[in-house]
Amino acid sequence: MAYYSYVATDVNGSTVRGKEYADDYLDLNEKLRAKNLFCTEYSEIQEKQSDAKYKFKTKDLAFICRQLASMLTAGISLVRSLHILYSQEENKKAKAALLEIYEDVQKGRSFAEAVQARPGVFPLLFVSMVAAGEASGNLDVIMTRVADYYLNQNKTNNQIKSALIYPIVLMCLLVAVFFGLFIFIMPMFRDLAGDDLPPLSAAMFAISDFLIPYWWTIILGVGVIVLVIHFLKKTPWFALWFDEMKVKMPKVGPLLIVIYTGRFARTMANLYASGLQMVDCIEKSADTLNNQYISNLFHESVVEDVKHGEALSTAITKIGVFPGVFTSIIMVGEESGALDDILNKSADYYEDESATAIAKLVGLMEPLMIIFLGIMIGMILAGIFPILYGGMANVGN
């Protein structure tokens, strides 16, 4: 749907100027004729993208949906609710995005069309749920479900981030200790070292001699590799390969599968309960997984099987990604007619399981990193002590 500026004449011959949303010129003409206006000039307005292309975070979306649901349930109109939302927003970029949505809806555009016109600002799931809510007339109920969904997602994300803080800090400490010892500590013992060094001490001095002039090239090289991987992940072939490797990686893969299972179940439950067609629910749920490999399996296999009359549980079993227990639960939901309720309960279970799995994985990483740090320091001490002993012996002589 496009946005048009027009010049028209009314039944009295007076000139009227205005703006209107329409699919094309014919649709615009019909809408103006319904108002007893006759279009004489028109031009399509290129709508500006939201200022700075603001992308709402899951926490922001949960708050927006909760506020909208509360106001709509209280009988406040959608236009008024959006006005309250944008006027209370403190973030300038988010405020600008919400203002554009409000202005569009005020001009007669549907809420779903307004958010869909700004790709990247709102997730596709949010757009789909808004469209389903408007179509069914239960936008307040849908917004409550979406708020719960984003609250759960934000909770899971925070659990992952919190669990990874300590290992990341420990890893940074390992790197700092490594470079500090070889660049600053080892050169201090150069004068004490003789020509006949133990193999370990000689190897450590060789590492030190290499790092002192080239440490910046190593850091630069690592940075370049990270940037290259970052840009490669935007290419379809590398993203597909990288996502496949993630789910097949020992320890990490099973954890990711648990997280993906919970996310798929939660999204599927919300979309299915909103009245969307099964195929649409599957496609949109697969797209929220942020894994191109699994998403492709769903689009190329599960969706096609369901289109041809296959049961969802059977189609998911064929791709062999999600746990067998999960597909069995889906089968029970299909047979009982309570698929959305069973999916929500499954999501609760797998989200709890993912939190437990993350804690176990981090619990395994922490002692390994501490052991590695201890081994590194021990090797350095083992390499330095013979030099100190030899130096003190020389002083004694």
Mark out the alpha helices in the chain (DSSP H runs): 25-34, 58-73, 78-88, 92-106, 111-116, 124-136, 139-180, 199-232, 236-248, 252-273, 278-287, 292-297, 303-307, 312-319, 324-336, 339-396
pLDDT > 70: percent of the chain: 93
In the numeric block, the tokens 């934000």 are attached to 154
**Angle ∠(142,338,322) on CA atoms, nearest 5:** 90
Strands 38-45 and 2-9: antiparallel
- If you average pLDDT over residues 283-302, what whole number do you get? 89
295 pLDDT more than 70: yes
Judge whether 51-151 and 170-397 match in fold: yes
Per-residue pLDDT at 336 exceeds 70 = yes
Residue 16: partners with Cβ closer than 8 Å, 6 or more residues away: 7, 8, 9, 10, 37
Sign, CA torsion 241/124/358/258 = negative
CATH number, span 170-397: 1.20.81.30
Average confidence (pLDDT) over 6-26: 80
Beta strands across the sheet bearing 38-45: 15-22, 2-9, 38-45
- Top pLDDT among 232 and 44 is at 232
Give Cβ neighbours of residue 57 (< 8 Å, ≥ 6 apart). Answer: 154
Q: How confident is the model at residue 316 (pLDDT cuts 50, 70, 90)?
A: very high
Distance CA 325, CA 80 (A): 46
**Residues whose CB falls within 8 Å of the CB of residue 8, separated by 6 or more in sequence, listed in order:** 15, 16, 17, 18, 32, 37, 38, 39, 40
The tokens describing 125, both together, are 């799931």
241 CB burial (10 A radius; 0-12, 13-18, 19+): middle
The per-residue pLDDT for 1 is 55
With bands split at pLDDT 50, 70 and 90, how would you rate the model's confidence at 51?
Answer: very low
d(CA 231, CA 234): 5
Under 8 Å CB-to-CB from 3, ≥6 apart: which residues? 19, 20, 21, 44, 45, 47
Reduce the DSSP state of residue 386 to 3 states and report it: helix
Q: What is the pLDDT of residue 186?
A: 80
pLDDT for the residue numbered 52 = 43
Spatial separation of the C-alpha atoms in residues 84 and 98, rounded to whole Å: 10
Query: Taking the mean position of all CA atoms in its chain, how far away is CA 178?
Result: 33
Structure tokens at 160: 């992952």
Axis-axis angle for helices 139-180, 339-396 (nearest 10): 10
Question: Tens digits of per-residue pLDDT, 133-149?
Answer: 888 888 998 999 889 88
Is pLDDT of 355 > 90?
Answer: no
pLDDT over 90 at 78, yes or no:
yes
- Average pLDDT (6-17) is 85
Percent of the chain scored above 90 by pLDDT?
A: 18
pLDDT the model gives residue 41: 84
Q: Provide the residue ranges of all domains of the chain, joining segments of one domain with +.
A: 2-45, 51-151, 170-397
Lowest-pLDDT choice from 31-45, 96-110, 238-252: 31-45
Rounded mean pLDDT of 269-289? 86
How many angstroms from the chain centroid is the CA of residue 277?
Answer: 25
pLDDT in tens, 365-394: 778 878 887 887 787 778 777 777 765 555
Confidence of residue 69 (pLDDT cuts 50, 70, 90): very high
pLDDT at 2: 67
Question: In the prediction, which pLDDT does 273 show?
Answer: 84
Length of the chain, please?
A: 397
Among 13, 380, 359, which Cα is nearest to 205's?
380
User: By three-state DSSP, how is residue 7 classified?
Assistant: strand
Could you say which DSSP state residue 118 is in? S
Residue 178 has a pLDDT of 83
| Superfamily of chain region 51-151 | Type II secretion system (T2SS), domain F (1.20.81.30)
